[in-house]
Homo-oligomer: A and B are copies of this chain.
Amino acid sequence: MPELRVIEVAREMREASRELARAGRSVGFVPTLGALHEGHLSLVRRARAENDAVVASIYVNPTQFGEGEDFERYPRSLEKDLDLLRGEDADIAFCPANAEMYPPNHSTFVEVGYLSNKLCGLSRPGHFRGVATVCAKLFHLVRPTRAYFGRKDAQQALLLRRMVRDLLLDLEIVVCPIVREADGLAISSRNANLSPEERAQATCLSCALEAAREALAAGETDAMQLIEIMAQRVISEPAAELDYAAIVDPEDLEDVREVDRECLAALAVWFGSTRLIDNATLGRAEKG
């Protein structure tokens, strides 16, 4: 098995990035909260295929969790994560402590603006500010050529692309397909927090998206009707509580009235204290 270098100190990560830059090597970067699963590993494989060096970060970033959210109980499995990264031939695992990422009295945040106040941003105030800020920091330390994100977090990917464009960061955001369990559930670290009953009912997200797709194929293009179809499918499961169901423009996330072009259907659903999200493209053949 190839050697995985585990770095815990920001200064050391910076020095490693400088060496990679001096050597002219392209760097593929996969930022994660750890609790790695097949979704993350698909990103690492893509990074491995497209770059000279692969860096993954494992860091449960406190500033993207709101008060009362699941920061404390977010799944953590560092040793297993490192083994998985070794299995994918990653070069560096960057696993910083909080003090490395947030110096004492830190006060600087990156605000990406209006996309932050839509969909998940409404349910999770401050979440995207935390995501943008920690990604800016990680990008500064790792200096990736390309950074890989999953399309399950579609809003996050859009927001980070906007940040990279607006702040003139020298990297490409690569967005990769959602990886699903055999029954359709989008793979997520938070799935581990579901009870067996909740896990069985959690397929309602992907089923709701599929129902919207089928209704569209049958000729229903009214967004409100399609949203209602998704909502009904979700709440047909007794443990599911709908946070939002939306059909929006895939670039600016504004609500649409009519699915007469490519749109994004997005869902967030509570199962007890676990919040799951999923999304799908409507109005064209699914890519990837």
| Residue ranges of A at the interface with B (Cβ–Cβ < 8 Å) | 10, 14, 17-18, 21-22, 24, 101-103, 106-115, 132-133, 136-137, 140-141, 143, 162-163, 165-170
Q: Is B108 a contact of A10 with CB atoms below 8 Å?
A: no
* CB within 8 Å for A109 and B107 given contacts A14-B170, A21-B21, A168-B10: no
**How far does the alpha carbon of A110 sit from the alpha carbon of B167 in the complex, in Å?**
9
* CB within 8 Å for A107 and B103 given contacts A10-B168, A140-B168: no
Q: Smallest Cβ distance from A113 to chain B, in angstroms? A: 3
A-B contact pairs, 5 of them (CB 8 A): A102-B166, A107-B113, A108-B110, A109-B113, A137-B167
Q: Smallest Cβ distance from A7 to chain B, in angstroms? A: 13
**How far does the alpha carbon of A133 sit from the alpha carbon of B101 in the complex, in Å?**
20
**How far does the alpha carbon of A226 sit from the alpha carbon of B109 in the complex, in Å?**
36
Q: Is B111 a contact of A108 with CB atoms below 8 Å?
A: yes
Please indicate the chain B residues that have their CB under 8 angstroms from the CB of A168 in the complex: 10, 14, 101, 137, 140-141
Number of copies: 2
Please indicate the chain B residues that have their CB under 8 angstroms from the CB of A102 in the complex: 166
Q: Is A167 a contact of B113 with CB atoms below 8 Å?
A: no
**How far does the alpha carbon of A136 sit from the alpha carbon of B139 in the complex, in Å?**
13
Q: Is B111 a contact of A109 with CB atoms below 8 Å?
A: yes
Q: Is A108 a contact of B166 with CB atoms below 8 Å?
A: yes
Q: Is B163 a contact of A108 with CB atoms below 8 Å?
A: yes
Q: Smallest Cβ distance from A101 to chain B, in angstroms? A: 8
Most chain B Cβ neighbours within 10 Å, of A102, A141, A168: A168
Q: Is B14 a contact of A107 with CB atoms below 8 Å?
A: no
Q: Is B22 a contact of A166 with CB atoms below 8 Å?
A: no
Smallest CB gap from A11: residue in B: B168
Smallest CB gap from A141: residue in B: B168
Please indicate the chain B residues that have their CB under 8 angstroms from the CB of A17 in the complex: 170
* CB within 8 Å for A112 and B103 given contacts A136-B167, A141-B168: no
